[in-house]
Structure 1
Amino acid sequence: MLRLIAQMPQLTSSETREDRMLHDTGRIKLTLDPEASAIVFDPDLRRAVSGEVPFYAEIDRAQAIMLERVGLIERGFIKKVIVELDRLQAEDFQSLAAVPSPRGSYLAYEDYLRSVIGKEASNLHLGRSRNDINATVLKLKLRKPYQELVGELLELLQVLCGLARAHLATTFPLHTHRQAALPSTLAHHLVAFAEAFSRDLDALLAVHPLLNQSCLGAGAGGGTTLPILPELTAKLLGFASSPVNSIDSVASRDLVLRLLAGSAVLGSNLSRVAETLLLWLGDAELASLPDELVGSSSAMPHKRNPFLLELVQGKSGAVVGSLVAAITGMHSTPFTNCAAVGTEAARHVEAGIDNVTRSVRIMKLCFSRLTVDQDAARAMLDRSFVNAMELATLLTVTTGLDFRSAHNEVGRSVTTAIEHGTSSLVAIMPIGGISDPEVSLSPDVIAKTARAGGGSAPETVTAALAELEDDVQRSNSILRELVAGWARAGKELQSAIDSLG
């Protein structure tokens, strides 16, 4: 008796057993338990009308055109469907907002269409399942975030390249272990940042063929015996290709993992560049940001806090959390449609992309308005013995002294110079065999003549810049073509609808 009571479905105070029996599927007599439904589904479609529902409608337009073309539904019915979908879209789907959603947004949306158009509205479901619909909706939803992320990253690269060209001859200290270490140039640093971000861009662009493959037609995972045309629905929705394997189409969400992995690596690079900027903006005051990109202290009147760069570090770190949550949610699940994968793991992708996109935007703002203090950079170079390695190298190649001995001798000279309150090694150390050591050991000369190994010499940096700019142009073309394809598909779908008469 106790066991039977425990198994009885619990009803809410506002819900009768008759209410729940209205959703009889034939096999399942009652709707999902209200407590479970509250955990899994929204109670109505208020949130879905700005999320999934517009994509359900777009898919239904393409599905209706395809099903009519293969003779599975009649043209007159399609017209009724299109009229209702157009009406819903015109009002931003608000008629659906309060519709109950006891078994998820798609079935609630379908029930609404059946109530308005007629029961035959469910015939739109021929040759498909929620499995392939949800997989397709995910890709449609990711188009805008993907476009924004790649577009923002391209703009950041353009800012960095433009700033680098303006500072090819700006001598600037290269730090190691947060200490001035070697002479370099500002352009040398900026191109280094851009090289890393360019690789991140390549990783993100490598995902676009997967993003651009439709899942519609894979059904529940077994495809269908109906003579449908998945390649037509793919074309009308702006996808470059249709499903290749029906199981893979509904089982896989590695698109999510690849986007989050690329975003996490990008976030790591953003955080490191942000830390480098914070070093430049710190006590050394090698650079500054304008008032509109810094914050004040509520207590300390003198402060100008570059807090935006700290936000970059926090937001870019959050992307790693999104990746870990997604990949853990998918780990060791069956290779078929699975709620743990398609719902729980995939839900983290939009937040992850949003965080890294915001981080890229902040970095773009900071670099586009960064002011470099060349006097401060010069002062740091002059006082920090950044020419010590060059002196040890010159001693080795001109006097026959082995490098380690030369290294130690120069190190002792640095100690002596500090004790004597000077930053000039030439004044402390007798240097034979080197013509005009004052010139040879000048930070400007070292920075301008370091050609090998991708060094700071202007011609070396310029060559790297040219390659970067070519890559940016190619990547821009890929993104423009991708977005143009999506736009063309929208026009083709509308043309197919108009041809119905």
Structure 2
Amino acid sequence: MSVVRSRLKGEMDRLALTLTSSLEHDRNIFFYDILVDLAHVLTLLKAGHISSEDAIPILKAILEVRDEGMPEGGEDVHEAIEARIIEKAGSAGMKMHTARSRNDEIATCLRLFARDSLLHLAYSLLNLREVLLNRAEEYIDAVMPGFTHLQYAQPTKLSHHLIAYHDMITRDFQRCMDAFKRINLCPLGSAAFASTPFQLDRHYTAKLLGFDGIVENSEDATASRDFLIESIFVSTSVMLTLSRIAEEIILWASEFGFVELPDEYASSSSIMPQKKNPDVAEIVRAKAGKLTGNLMAAMAIYKAMPLSYNRDFQEMNPLLYDSLQCVNLSCDVMAGMLEKVKFRTDVMEEKAGRGFSVATHIADELVKLGVPFRKAHRIVGRLSLNPSYENLKKIMEEEGLEPMDEENFKRCMDVKEVVEARKNIGGTSKEEIRQMLEDRLSALEKDADMVAGLAERISRALEELYREVEMILGGTVEKSGKVKSE
């Protein structure tokens, strides 16, 4: 049954309906549409646009449809739900769409989906941050080689490296929270785009749905999808970070020999029984590319869209669903893998001095002895061809310089001494790493409290929505959606 073909004769062509239908993807927002319907009916009742005699059968029908699950048929979830409600509530059901368009309805559903998905992502990122900080604390003294251009560069610490991962993830968390503020605003009550002559308390509607406020301009409310693009961007940004971590896990599990993959996050070969492949990390790396494509696709669809609403928007919705679901799953999986991966610190330490990685430290020590840095750089460059004290002494004598003390040279060749010498803020010394861990654990606790507060506020709002429905129905709305009389 179609409820929106008022002036059109006959049903839509079967192939045209297949092309334009969004039902396949609308399952992602079915329950959000139910919430929107409940809030809208309560708003209509509060404003006096429908009577309680009409509201009661509509609300009962909405709850029944919720428990039955996604109806079949129609162009989209909104039409399918409305048609089913009309079947159940009769003529009263035909009043549910008063003062509303599918335009503000879908915009609201998408914001609800994005809001909840971003909250899930925030929790996932908090968990990943905690895992990284715990592993950094566990390996606070482990020395490893650091790389630039994938060449041995300078010795560092595994803990310092893991904190760098954490800080990248933290910025993604902050982007997630910034986006949440702009997304958690309610478009409902804007109708098609030019508002409605029916007076509605839009702030009341927003409060029922747990929004922080409204998207005020009715045309902006229905015609904007920057919130959708921003959600995909946040997802993509997280995936780019995860992909970089995944790439290192893949490298470290190969000839580097820095990690032993957990069995739960690896696979074997269908033909080579000895293989232990980093498939999970590889899939995360691949999905980062996929989300980059989603972001480009969403922006390409959006870039030349005239105001106000255009059906092109429909093609952006699956990109949102896919991106947010993908990033949440990937983030949770990466946290599990990093929690269980075995770091082979013996191999890391053995390789920490490879490629004459202490060269920069020797040059720094020469500067401390009064040698200009560029000359020290040239001296150590020559020394790298034969990094011995005898050769350093010879080169410095040729430069007309007093040679470095041999004991100082030995300390410069000790990778543990080198990393501990980096006592500057953010450096690799144990003292600095401990300070970074302390600061980040404190920030993590505050961020966790903030996210929990947001989730609790939304939960309370939705509980209030159902309490108002209960009051109208004169009983208690059970989880099944049935009304139990008092």
Give the drift of 1:153.
1.2
The one-letter code sitting in structure 1 at the alignment partner of 2:65 is L
Counterpart for residue 355 of structure 2:
384
Contact 2:152 2:354 in 1 (8 A): no
- Of stretches 135-144 and 469-478 in structure 1, the one that deviates more from structure 2 is 469-478
Please tell me whether residue 486 in structure 1 is matched to residue 449 in structure 2: no
Q: How many Å separate the matches in 2 of 1:249 and 1:311?
A: 37
Whether 2:299 is the aligned partner of 1:327: answer yes
Cα deviation per residue 1:85-108 (whole Å; 9 max; x = unaligned)? 222233335xx33xx31x443233
Contact 2:146 2:153 in 1 (8 A): yes
> SS state of the match for residue 384, structure 1?
helix
Equivalent in the alignment of 1:374: 345
Provide, for residues 170-219 of structure 1, a one-character-per-residue CA deviation record: whole Å limited to 9, x for no partner.
11111122222111111110111111111111111101122211110011
1:67 aligns with 2:38: no
Counterpart contact for 1:263–1:356, Cα < 8 Å: yes
How big is the shift at 1:24? Answer: 8.3
Q: Any idea what the Cα deviations from partners look like across 1:414-434, whole Å, max 9, x if unmatched? A: 2235xxxxxxx3364338343
Query: Which of 240, 256, 259 pairs up with 2:228?
Result: 256
**Residue type of the partner of 2:155?**
P
Separation (CA, whole Å) in 1 of partners of 2:160 and 2:77: 53
TM-score w.r.t. the length of structure 2 is 0.89
Please give the alpha-carbon distance, in whole angstroms, between the structure 2 residues aligned to 1:440 and 1:105. 68
Equivalent of 2:323, from 338, 347, 352?
352
- Pairing 1:255-404 to 2, within 5 Å after superposition: 255-341=227-313, 343-398=314-369, 400-404=370-374
- In structure 2, how many angstroms separate the alpha carbons of the residues matched to 1:110 and 1:360? 36
The 3-state SS of whatever aligns with 2:99 is coil
Per-residue deviation, 1:256: 1.1
For 1:81 and 1:151, locate their aligned partners in 2 and report how far apart those are by CA, in whole Å. 36
The whole-number CA distance in structure 1 between the counterparts of 2:52 and 2:225 is 35
| Counterpart contact for 2:57–2:93, Cα < 8 Å | no
The answer on 1:426 being equivalent to 2:384 is no
Across the aligned residues of Structure 1 and Structure 2, the Cα RMSD in angstroms comes to: 2.2
State the partner residue of 1:108: 80
Select between 196-205 and 431-440 the one with higher mean Cα deviation. Answer: 431-440
- For 2:186, the equivalent position in structure 1 comes to 214
1:30 Cα deviation after fit: 3.0
Q: CA deviation at 1:38?
A: 1.6
Q: What is residue 411 of structure 1 aligned with on the other side? A: 381
The 1:24/1:193 distance shift into structure 2, 3 A limit, reads closer
Measured in 2, the distance between the counterparts of 1:446 and 1:235 equals 58
Q: Does 1:82 align with 2:59?
A: yes
Aligned residues: 464
Distance 2:115 2:182 in 1: 12
Q: Which amino acid aligns with 2:470?
A: D
1:411 counterpart letter in structure 2? G
| Higher RCO, 1 vs 2 (CA within 8 Å, ≥6 residues apart) | 2
How much does 1:330 deviate? 0.4
Which whole-Å CA distance do the structure 1 matches of 2:373 and 2:14 have between them?
Answer: 77
Distance 1:388 1:66 in 2: 71
Q: Structure 2 counterpart of 1:406, which letter? A: A
TM-aligned CA distance change 1:89 to 1:359, over 3 Å: closer
Measure how far apart 1:47 and its partner are. 6.9
Partner of 2:416: 444
1:34 aligns with 2:14: yes
* Match in the other structure for 1:119: 91
Per the normalisation by structure 1, the TM-score is 0.87
1:190 paired residue number? 162
Cα gap change, 1:51 to 1:389, in 2 (>3 Å): closer
Does 50-59 or 61-70 show the bigger shift? 50-59
Question: How far, CA to CA, are the matches of 1:299 and 1:384 in structure 2?
Answer: 37
Pairwise CA distance, 1:81: 1.5
SS of equivalent to 1:174? strand
Offset at 1:129? Answer: 0.8
Q: Which amino acid aligns with 1:37?
A: L
CA contact (8 A) 1:309 1:362 kept: no
Name the aligned partner's letter for residue 75 of structure 1.
S
Q: Counterpart of 1:125 in 2: which secondary structure? A: coil
Q: Distance in 1 between matches of 2:235 and 2:49?
A: 43
Which letter does structure 1 place at the counterpart of 2:422?
A
- Give the distance between the partners of 2:12 and 2:140, measured in 1 at CA: 66
For the Cα contact (< 8 Å) 1:319–1:353, is it kept in 2? Answer: no
CA distance in 1, matches of 2:25, 2:373: 69
The answer (yes or no) to whether the contact 2:141–2:157 under 8 Å persists in 1 is: yes
- Secondary structure of the 1:299 match is coil
- Are residues 383 and 327 of structure 1, via their aligned partners in 2, closer, same or farther at CA, if it must alter by over 3 Å? closer
Deviation at 1:155, TM superposition (A): 0.6
Matched residues, percent identical? 26
Counterpart pick for 1:475 among 447, 458, 470? 447
Q: Distance in 2 between matches of 1:148 and 1:405?
A: 54
1:121-140 CA-partner distances (Å, limit 9, x unpaired): 22222221111001011122
For 1:442 and 1:387, how far apart are their aligned partners in 2?
Answer: 8
Contact kept? 1:253, 1:346, Cα under 8 Å: no
Distance 2:285 2:5 in 1: 50
Aligned-pair CA distance for 1:23: 6.8
SS at match of 1:206: helix
What is the rounded CA distance, in whole Å, between the counterparts of 1:372 and 1:427 in structure 2? 36
Query: Gaps spanning 5+ residues in structure 2: where?
Result: 397-402, 475-486
* Pairwise CA distance, 1:147: 2.5
Letter in 1 for 2:61: E
Q: Identify which range, 271-280 or 217-226, moves more after superposition.
A: 271-280
Q: Does 1:180 align with 2:152?
A: yes
**Residue 200 of structure 1 aligns with which residue?**
172
How far apart are the structure 2 equivalents of 1:148 and 1:113? 31
- Please tell me the residue identity of whatever aligns with 1:340: D
Q: CA separation in 1, counterparts of 2:385 and 2:453?
A: 60
SS at match of 2:213: coil
DSSP 3-state at the match of 1:336: coil
- CA distance in 1 between counterparts of 2:260 and 2:389 reads 33
Are 1:136 and 2:108 counterparts? yes
Q: Give the 3-state SS of the residue equivalent to 1:416 in structure 2.
A: coil
Aligned partner letter, 1:85 = I
